[in-house]
A and B are shown apart, each in its own frame.
Chain A
Amino acid sequence: MKRLRFNQQEIVFAVFALLFLAFSIFLRGFLTPENMLTLLQNVAVLGILGLAMAIVVIGRGIDISLIAALAVPPGLVLQMVQNGHSLPASLLVAVLLTIAFGLVNGWLIAYAEVPSLFATLATGLLLAGLGQAALFQLDVVQWSDGMKGFERLGQGTILGIPTSIVMFAIACVVVAFLLRQTRWGAYIYAIGDNPYAARVTGIPSRPIIVLQYVVAALIGCFAGLVMAASVNSMPTRIFNSTLIYDVILVVVLGGIGLSGGRGGVLNVVIGTLLIGTMLNGMTIMDISYAGQNLVKGVVLLLAVITDSFLNPRNEETAQQGDI
């Protein structure tokens, strides 16, 4: 008899479905088209960041510096426009900064062989510190007249759908294409699955790893632009928040294992939906921010524990240094 086994993705999806069902039945005003759109809108930025994180995690890495990439280059755009530079020039500078940042990350991880957790922890601090010390005059960089028109990236609707959701969808399609349809994507899966085997096979693993971090940083920057456009400013102190932990949770809960080589865009979408549903439902129930976090944490913990019961790891197969 075939044993019934679930993977984490299915468990999380089941949790999501249950939550959604429960909220739909018991919460007045949850299952309305308006609320559904609000729900998605609120998690769009988180979802885009989740895609960036997914690319890195699939390649057996982690990128703690995403929030810095989210905050600093877009903040630089706003600041430069405020100081009188043209929007295209500012965007170009920001993109170059992002690419340079991704290259530094990638070089540290691929060539200097610093564990990705530490490399990105440090480079994130470095970039955030750079923004704080040299680039921005205030913690919150305000929208200026020169940015006119750019706010459409995060506000308004396209064909009746809020723009930020469209942006998330575009990002999903692009990342899915990269991962599934290009050789580069296949290489990422190979490296994440078994880096040594990938290297022996002749895959240029180091350049591919560098590329991962550059792409992740660019997606992070894109998420930052969408966010800035939707709130008409860039609160650079967001770096101090626990947003990065939410991003990791989206990815891991969605079923992209931290040991790499598994998962895809669908997992990010599921993870994002779960978080989005929970947050939205609790907002309707008028639970405080801290209370929401508490509930979120407990639910996540339960999901991870359930996973460990259904798919146990043991001392024989656990990887060394696999934290």
Chain B
Amino acid sequence: MRDTLTSLRYRYWPDHLLGEILSKRWTETAIPVILLLIVGFALSRSIDHFLSPASLADTARQAGEIGFIGLGMALVVIVGGIDLSVGSIFALTDFCALYLLDVLNWPVPAVVVATLACGALLGAVNGVLIGYLRLRAFITTLITLIIYRSAFDLLIQRYSNSIAAAFPDIPSWNFIGGGDVFGIPSVALVYVAIAIFGHIFMTRLRPGWHITAIGGSRRSAYNSGIPVRRTIALCYVASGVLTSIAALFFAARLGTVGGDIGVGLEVIVLTATVLGGITLGGGKGSVAKSLVGVLIVLLITNGLTTLNARGGINRMALAGILLVAAMVDIRWQKNRTRIISKVYVAPTYHALPPPPATEIGQGGPFEQNDKLRDVELIGLGRIEAPEDVILDRNNNLYAGSRHGDIMRFFAPDYQRMEVFAHIGGQPLGMAFDRQDNLYVCIGGMGLYRIKPDGTVEKATDETNRSMHSVNDDSRLRLADDLDITDDGLIFFSEATVRYEMDEWPIDGLEARGNGRIICYDTKTGATHTALRGLKFPNGICVASDGQSILFAETFGCSIKRLWFAGPKKGQVEVVMDNLPGYPDNINLASDGNYWLALVGMRSPSLDLAWKMPGFRRRMAKRVPVDEWLFPNINTGCVVKFNEQGKILESFWDLRGENHPMITSMREHRGYLYLGGIMNNRIGRYKLENADPNFVQYDKRWGKLS
């Protein structure tokens, strides 16, 4: 009863989603957005007409103006600097626009262009000083803040009267200041356009990536050839231009040049930037974060003004929120990976009946023996981690290596060895197609094809994204083993979509159906997911009927059959379950049966732990990774089974010294070749009563005539 409840709870409650959601980058933006919603909700409850169109339009106008400056500040902060001079640039460009319009009577387009140029120039001063002369951003913009401000003060002493006296009535100017399109203020429209461009710029275009790279690590960016100085300088120019855009709208809206314009603006914008979650020091930030920060600051200041709060309260609220936001942001940045690694592992209920006996004297097909004790060794100490081995029609032996190579041992004695192809990722399962191409599953990379001349091509590294997964499961994380049907369909297993290759034991602890079987069509080049929700699918072998594949579920301890053609197409059937070990690769035997490698034997402790998800979750949270339970992969065996799932024979090695572990085996001309992912050797075992002319290649694709 209790087990049933546990099993139901773990089957239907999606524990794994929390960790997956938290590991998404957008959750960082989610915190400020939630804050914004709370502030908006609180203000709309306490202020009448807060959400009325007029009030919203007014807010949008101000948000647009501050928003431009916020974008500039975001850019500069992302590149690893700071711009304190925005308030003064704002004042100066505001003056510039009004002076040109009111005193010199320039036409509006010329005023706009000149004002933007003025902003660019003021920003360029910062840019040259900080980018090219490499002064400190903080102190430099502090000085330019003072210089620009005093220049502004000097200018308005002379011209404020003539500006105040003029009342320009130019339709286009008025439209900039107060116009709207379908109720949306002009400034908001321009802001949206620039924000969309900014988003694309930062996330999709090369200069945007350069900016993030420089902010993330200036030294690495410099060493990888990014023009650090120019990029930094241009960021300050952009900040100046964006500030001057804000000043243009401000000038058109109010038309005044009061002495305190832009005083303290840098504090407001900086607050908005930090509130939005743009990390000081660079490398992280987005347009959305900048906008959210600006909206929060603006809503709070406007809301408090509307509520007739004293100026001091307004300040305290702003400061308090800045502090809390900075603290939350810093705590989160610091502990993010730790929190995620704690909650990411989401074990589930997995019950297996007691395993069949394997001890000597107990009888049964799994009874231990010592047949593999004295296997011959190939390439001892010259190869590392041959997960799978395969032989071509010329008797040459191929095996993957940890270094990302496919090694070839030449027949007949397999002493001579060469690097057949270099791929770069760890090769796992392998299979030859009809044209002598070698298809290889590469952990972390996908499915690759190696032509007979050794050139490497990518076959596929992505499949269709499933609708309901939070993790992006379109990329292949751990392609494991494959086989090729007569029609040129390649079925390959992806062991898990939640972990990387080196984390495979954690997937075993989780015991969730995270794996899937994917089908790649060599004729069309299309990839689709054939079956999902499997517990670490591993070995794959096309069955003798040519209409189904056999696949092993390592942590499901079972062999299943999937029909891909014929009357039962799409159906799945259990061939064997409750194996005493963890099944790995499956391959054809010369007598029409199948070979199966058991990479390790089940242990009572892990079997018990699989029934106790809460125990495993506590372990993942409280114990360091090195001390977690680990599936046994020290002892294993090779078994032969038939089409009906009956075990015919088993091959053991009681000492495990000569050939320590087995992940795959391949029969060839009366011998069984053994691979093991932790080994530095390949084993060769002489089979009794086997067809001495059996070549898997010929059997599958026909003898070379």
* A interface residues with partner B (beta carbon < 8 Å): 108, 112-115, 117-119, 121-126, 128-134, 240, 242, 245, 248-249, 252, 258, 288-294, 296-298, 300-301, 304-305, 308-309, 312-316, 318, 320-323
Contact = CB atoms under 8 A, between A and B. Distances in A.
B136 A258 contact: yes
Given A118-B274, A125-B318, A313 B147 contact: no
B270 interface: yes
A128 B312 contact: yes
Given A121-B267, A301-B147, A304-B140, A314 B322 contact: no
A215 B139 CA distance: 24
B280 A112 contact: no
Given A290-B153, A304-B140, A315-B228, A130 B312 contact: yes
A240 B264 contact: yes
B280 A122 contact: no
B219 A315 contact: yes
Interface stretch (B22-30, B183-191, B323-331, B420-428): B323-331
A235 to B, nearest CB: 15
Interface in B119-144: 129, 133-140, 142-144
A117 B53 CA distance: 38
Interface of B is mostly: helix
A288 B154 contact: yes
Contacts of B693: none
Nearest to B214: A315
Residue with the greatest number of chain A CB neighbours at <10 A, chosen from B137, B270, B319? B319
B323 A301 contact: no
A172 to B, nearest CB: 23
B513 interface: no
B157 A119 contact: no
A42 to B, nearest CB: 18
A294 B323 contact: no
Nearest to B147: A297
7 contacts: A113-B330, A122-B320, A126-B323, A129-B317, A248-B142, A294-B150, A297-B150
Interface of B: 80-82, 129, 133-140, 142-147, 149-151, 153-154, 157, 217-219, 222-223, 228, 263-264, 267, 270-271, 274, 280-282, 310-320, 322-323, 326-327, 330-331, 334
Contact of A301 (B136, B138, B143, B334): B143
Kindly name the residue among A112, A128, A315, A322 whose own CB sees the greatest number of chain B CB atoms within 10 A. A315
- Of the listed residues B136, B270, B331, the one surrounded by the most CB atoms of chain A closer than 10 A to its CB is B136
A210 to B, nearest CB: 16
Given A125-B318, A129-B317, A294-B151, 11 more contacts: A115-B281, A119-B326, A121-B267, A122-B322, A125-B322, A252-B139, A258-B139, A300-B143, A305-B133, A323-B136, A323-B281
B315 A126 contact: yes
Contacts of B327: 108, 112, 114
Contacts of A130: 312, 316
Given A115-B280, A128-B315, A301-B143, A312 B134 contact: yes
A80 B496 CA distance: 70
Contact of A119 (B82, B217, B223, B323): B323
B143 A297 contact: yes
B123 to A, nearest CB: 15
B218 A323 contact: no
B319 A293 contact: no
Nearest to B264: A240
Contacts of B150: 290-294, 297
Contacts of B137: 323
B80 A323 contact: yes
Contact of A298 (B147, B223, B312): B147
A320 B330 contact: no
Contacts of A248: 139, 142
Nearest to A132: B312
A104 B203 CA distance: 39
Contact of B312 (A134, A245, A296): A134
B154 A294 contact: yes
Contact of B154 (A245, A291, A315): A291
B326 A114 contact: yes
B146 A133 contact: no
Contacts of B138: 117, 258, 323
Contacts of B274: 118
Contacts of B153: 289-290, 293
B154 A314 contact: no
Contacts of B314: 129
A114 B320 CA distance: 13
A90 B270 CA distance: 36
Contacts of A242: 145-146, 149
Contacts of A308: 133-135
A114 B323 contact: yes
B392 to A, nearest CB: 51
Nearest to A296: B146
A304 B334 CA distance: 34
Contacts of A296: 146
A113 B334 contact: yes
A258 B138 CA distance: 9
A301 B136 CA distance: 11
A75 B178 CA distance: 43
A290 B158 CA distance: 12
A134 to B, nearest CB: 7
B157 to A, nearest CB: 7
B222 to A, nearest CB: 4
B312 A322 contact: no
A252 to B, nearest CB: 5
A121 B270 contact: yes
A126 B320 contact: yes
Contact of A129 (B80, B139, B270, B315): B315
B215 to A, nearest CB: 9
A316 B217 CA distance: 11
Nearest to B279: A321
Contacts of B149: 242, 293
B217 to A, nearest CB: 7
Contacts of A309: 133
A66 to B, nearest CB: 15
B450 to A, nearest CB: 41
B136 A322 contact: yes
B67 to A, nearest CB: 21
Contacts of B143: 249, 297, 300-301, 304
A242 B91 CA distance: 15
Contacts of A313: 134
A76 B290 CA distance: 38
Nearest to A312: B134
A123 B271 CA distance: 12
Contacts of B154: 288, 290-291, 294
A288 B158 CA distance: 13
B546 to A, nearest CB: 60
Contacts of A320: 80, 217-219, 281
A297 B319 contact: no
B319 A122 contact: yes
B219 A318 contact: yes
